[in-house]
C-alpha cells in the first residue's frame, strides 16, 4: 500500500513539473514553483569543491545555500540551473551565503544574471583581514544590487512552506536552544581537545537545521571545530540528524569526533573536490561515526587513498571521468528518504525508522 501511494505521488509530481515547463514555454512566466507532494528535495551540486546546495520544499519554496565559484563561463550557475530544472522551479526564493569565501559566494554574479532571486541571507559583513576576502565580499554586495538582503542571527528562521528551518550559527555565535530539541549530555566532550580558533570567515559561517516532519538535515557551511563544539558540548543542542552535509567539504579543521558522534547522522554528503578537502582524518571520523549507513562524496578525493574514499557507487564524479554529476535526496515527512547518484542513475532507499 505504501509503495502504491508513493508511486501516485511521483506521478503527480511529474505532472506538476510538466505543467510548469508548459507554462514557462507558452506564457513566458518569470517564475513557476512546482510543488513536490510529500517530498523535500535536496541537491548537493558539483561546484568543484565549493558549496551549492539546493533545497525545494513540498510546496515549491526554495533555498539555495551558497553559489559556488565565479567565472568558468558561468559553469556553477548552469549546474545550479540543471538541478532547478529537475526540481521544476525557475527562481530561487532564498539564497543563504554561509560566509564570504570565494568558493561559497563567488558565484552570485553569475547566478543573478540567469535567474530571479527573492532575497539574500548572510551573517552580516566580512570579518576576515584578507584582501582576497574583502574583494569577494565587495563583489557580492555589488552583484546583488537592489535584491533584498537580510542579516541572519542564531535562532532566526527561514520561511518555506512545509519546512522548519532555523539558523543554528552565524557570525561566530550559536543558538542557545533549538525549538523542539531537548538538550542531552554528551559524554564525548570530556575527551575532545581544546581547538584553537582561527580568524578567517570559516568560524563565522551561518548554518541551518532543516526539518520536514521527522526528517532532519544539517548544513553548517565551513564551521570549524572550535565553533562546532559549543553546539554539542557540554550538552548536545542539535540531536540526531538523518542527513549531514559534512562541514567544510571534509577538511580536518572541522568534523570533530564529539560533534559528529553527537549528531549521529544516518547518511552524510561530502561536497569535496578532486583535489580539495576529503581529508583522510575527517573522512574516517564521519565514515566510522556510530549509526552511519553511507557517506556520499561529490568527487573521488584524489590526494587521499582508496581506504579513505567511499565506494565508487557512492561517488558522483570519479577520477578520470566527466564532472557535473550531483547527488539528489528525496525526503518524506515520515523520516524516510532516498538518495540518487546522478552519475549512475542508481537510487538507494533509507526507510523511516
Output the pLDDT for position 37. 67
Can you give the CATH number for the domain in which 247 is found? 3.60.15.10
Structural domain count of the chain: 1
- Separation CA 244–CA 256 (nearest Å): 14
Range of the domain at 152: 2-350
The single-letter DSSP state of residue 195 is P
- Please check whether residue 123 is in contact with residue 205, taking contact to mean a CB–CB distance below 8 angstroms: yes
In tens digits, the chain (353 residues) has pLDDT values of 333 433 443 444 444 444 444 444 443 433 444 445 689 999 999 999 999 999 999 999 999 999 999 999 999 999 999 999 999 999 999 999 999 999 999 999 999 999 999 999 999 999 999 999 999 999 999 999 999 999 999 999 999 999 999 999 999 999 999 999 999 999 999 999 999 999 999 999 999 999 999 999 999 999 999 999 999 999 999 999 999 999 999 999 999 999 999 999 999 999 999 999 999 999 999 999 999 999 999 999 999 999 999 999 999 999 999 999 999 999 999 999 999 999 999 999 999 99
What is the CB neighbour count within 10 angstroms for residue 219?
Answer: 31
Query: Does the predicted TM-score (pTM) go above 0.75?
Result: yes
CA–CA dist 316, 296 (Å, integer): 8
d(CA 157, CA 155): 7
Rounded-to-integer distance, Cα 58 and Cα 161, Å: 7
Strands (DSSP E) along 195-266, which ranges? 207-212, 215-219, 235-236, 243-245
Beta bridge partners of 174: 169
Residue 74, SS3 per DSSP? helix
Amino acid at each position: 500500500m505504501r509503495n502504491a501511494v508513493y508511486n501516485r505521488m511521483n506521478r503527480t509530481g511529474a505532472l506538476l513539473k510538466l505543467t510548469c515547463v508548459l507554462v514557462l514555454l507558452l506564457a513566458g512566466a518569470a517564475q513557476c514553483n512546482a510543488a513536490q507532494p510529500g517530498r523535500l528535495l535536496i541537491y548537493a551540486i558539483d561546484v568543484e569543491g565549493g558549496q551549492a546546495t539546493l533545497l525545494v520544499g513540498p510546496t515549491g519554496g526554495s533555498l539555495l545555500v551558497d553559489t559556488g565559484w565565479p567565472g568558468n563561463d558561468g559553469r556553477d550557475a548552469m549546474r545550479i540551473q540543471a538541478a532547478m530544472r529537475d526540481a521544476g522551479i525557475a527562481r530561487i526564493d532564498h539564497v543563504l551565503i554561509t560566509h564570504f569565501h570565494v568558493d561559497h559566494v563567488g558565484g552570485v554574479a553569475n547566478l543573478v544574471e540567469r535567474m530571479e532571486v527573492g532575497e539574500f541571507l548572510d551573517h552580516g559583513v566580512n570579518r576576515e583581514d584578507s584582501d582576497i576576502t574583502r574583494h569577494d565580499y565587495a563583489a557580492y554586495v555589488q552583484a546583488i544590487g537592489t535584491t533584498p538582503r537580510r542579516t541572519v542571527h542564531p535562532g532566526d528562521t527561514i520561511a518555506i512552506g512545509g519546512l522548519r528551518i532555523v539558523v543554528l550559527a552565524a557570525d561566530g555565535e550559536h543558538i542557545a536552544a533549538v525549538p523542539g530539541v531537548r538538550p542531552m549530555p554528551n559524554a564525548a566532550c570530556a575527551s575532545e581537545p581544546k581547538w584553537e580558533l582561527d580568524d578567517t570567515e570559516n568560524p563565522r559561517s551561518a548554518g541551518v537545521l532543516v526539518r520536514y516532519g521527522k526528517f532532519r538535515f544539517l548544513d553548517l557551511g565551513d564551521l570549524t571545530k572550535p565553533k562546532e563544539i559549543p553546539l554539542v558540548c557540554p550538552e548536545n543542542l542539535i540531536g540526531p540528524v538523518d542527513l549531514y552535509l559534512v562541514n567544510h567539504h571534509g577538511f580536518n579543521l572541522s568534523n570533530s569526533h564529539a560533534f559528529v558522534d553527537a549528531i549521529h547522522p544516518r547518511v552524510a554528503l561530502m561536497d569535496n573536490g578532486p583535489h580539495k578537502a576529503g581529508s583522510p582524518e575527517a573522512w574516517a571520523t564521519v565514515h566510522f561515526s556510530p549509526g552511519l549507513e553511507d557517506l556520499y562524496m561529490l568527487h573521488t578525493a584524489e590526494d587521499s587513498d582508496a581506504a579513505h574514499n567511499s565506494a565508487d557507487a557512492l561517488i558522483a564524479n570519479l577520477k578520470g571521468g566527466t564532472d557535473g554529476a550531483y547527488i539528489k535526496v528525496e525526503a518524506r515527512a515520515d523520516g524516510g528518504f532516498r538518495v540518487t547518484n546522478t552519475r549512475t542513475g542508481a537510487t538507494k532507499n533509507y526507510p523511516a525508522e
